[in-house]
């Protein structure tokens, strides 16, 4: 057998092995069909949102359960300092810069805050307990609003928020954000009502 035929056989065999390996890796990462990858990305994003919502709920309950949360008045500076300490202690340390907490008084005025927080309308702060996603200048936020009720009266409101993705382009100027996933980054544009 000639040297040329051996080289061709080795080349074809190597190409076949590389092609099958690439096909197998693609199938393992993206799934067996075109619909598999988007379904996996959707499931991953849903799981991340559920985990973030659970984290925000845990933080809100921890702060609402503190006696200093409901006894604080803006004129009692020592109590306000303790409330700032309570809020700072409740902040997660695993992902700095993504989470923020604000405690509002009974009339919707901020008393203490920590982390990356946003301004909310007073009507929203004084509304019912809710979980929502809103656009922000640094990306979309998952926001949990929890009223603190004692003896049937609203004493405070705890608002915990977390940035979900990053804005693509200049902050505040773009309506497009990116959410990273294990398969590929997901780019999404906010749909503004007209």
pLDDT value, residue 126: 93
Task: Kindly report the pTM of this predicted structure.
Answer: 0.71
Token pair for 109: 């005025």
pLDDT value, residue 56: 93
Question: Tokens 């608002």 label which residue?
Answer: 159
pLDDT means per 10 residues in the chain (194 residues)? 82 85 75 73 83 92 83 77 91 83 92 90 92 80 92 92 70 59 65 45
- Note whether 57 and 141 are within 8 A (CB): no
For the domain spanning 36-189, the CATH number is 3.30.450.20
If one counts every other C-beta atom within 10 angstroms of the C-beta of residue 134, the result is 13
pLDDT value, residue 183: 66
String of b and e for 71-103 (b: at least 16 CB within 10 Å)?
Answer: ebeeeeeebbebbbebbeebeeeeeeebbbbbb
> For the chain, which residues make up each domain, given as ranges?
36-189
């Amino acid at each position: 057998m000639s040297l040329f035929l051996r080289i061709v056989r080795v080349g074809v065999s190597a190409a076949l092995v590389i092609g099958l390996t690439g096909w197998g890796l693609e199938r393992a990462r993206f799934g067996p069909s075109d619909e598999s990858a988007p379904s996996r990305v959707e499931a991953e994003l849903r799981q991340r949102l559920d985990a973030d919502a659970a984290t925000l709920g845990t933080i809100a309950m921890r702060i609402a359960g503190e006696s200093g949360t409901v006894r604080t008045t803006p004129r009692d500076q020592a109590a306000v300092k303790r409330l700032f300490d309570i809020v700072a202690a409740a902040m997660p340390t695993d992902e700095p810069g993504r989470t923020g907490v604000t405690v509002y008084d009974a009339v919707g005025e901020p008393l203490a805050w920590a982390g990356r927080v946003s301004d909310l309308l007073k009507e929203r702060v004084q509304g019912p307990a809710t979980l929502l996603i809103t656009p922000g200048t640094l990306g979309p936020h998952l926001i949990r609003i929890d009223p603190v009720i004692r003896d049937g009266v609203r004493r405070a409101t705890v608002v915990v928020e977390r940035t979900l993705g990053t804005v693509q382009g200049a902050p505040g100027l773009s309506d497009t954000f990116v959410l990273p996933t294990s398969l590929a980054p997901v780019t999404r544009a906010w749909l503004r009502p007209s």
